[in-house]
Amino acid sequence: MQINRRFLGNSRLYGEEKFYKINQSHVCVIGLGGVGSWVVEALVRSGIGQMTMIDLDNVSESNVNRQLPAINSNFGKSKVEVLRERALEINPEIRIIAVEDFVDERNYLDLFSSPFSFVVETIDEVRIKTLLASHFIKNGQPFVVSGGAGGKQSARLVKTSDLSEVTHDRLLSHMRYQLRKNFNFPKKGNMQINCVFSEEPSSKPVQTCKSNISIQSGLSCAGYGSSMIVTASFAMQLAQSALEWVVK
């Protein structure tokens, strides 16, 4: 295999055989926000050969504190297009499929009709997280799930574990409950779903939105606050899960 000079460091780290597996893999990243955008960056710089990115949002000013593409020149642009262009700047040989849509009940069967080498799921809607996890388990699709990074301040408390062992994460707690209640997942023992989460209790918001802020501007400050220190730490562990799987 002729290795691009850009990725000689990766090849020396993993060895040519494992780097070849990375280069031949096709990873899907669902959600390109404060966590998913950094996952994309890490995987592209690791030499992933093909990537599917899925998100419908545009870049906005309120993303600046945590999202990779959030700079002045990108405000209002599609996240998938901005990150596609960035990925090609990093590696012109990468193959990118940019899906400008949200994953939901109407399209998930089509989007995941063919297997990926690995899927990284970073969305924040319990209903869809639950649906996807059940579908992936049923079809043998390797994947990892992100918990909620909002309200967390410490990067040191981020970890990866099975969903059955997750604590201090309301998003994953609701997901676990729904899987057990509606999809017959075991109430005890391993659930075979790896998750990245923080053991830190969430900090409540200390500021609320002003009523005169335009909804159309995308400047929502509802919900928990967040920090790139934590969202990017989530992302690095998610990316590590993907790389560990594809080099097996």
Per-residue pLDDT tens digits for 165-182: 999 999 999 999 999 999
CATH of the domain at 233: 3.40.50.720
Give pLDDT tens digits for 57-86: 999 999 999 998 989 999 999 999 999 999
Residue 161: domain span: 5-246
Per-residue confidence (pLDDT) for residue 70, from 0 to 100: 87
What pLDDT score does 188 carry? 92
Angle between helices 36-45 and 228-246 (to 10 degrees): 50
Bridging pattern class, strands 158-162 and 50-54? unpaired
Supply the pLDDT for residue 174: 97
Beta bridge partners of 244: none
Predicted pLDDT of residue 187: 92
The reported pLDDT for the residue numbered 218 is 33
Give the chain's domain count: 1
Distance separating alpha carbons of residues 112 and 135, to the nearest angstrom: 9
Instruction: Give the pTM.
Output: 0.91
Low-confidence ranges of the chain (pLDDT < 50): 211-221
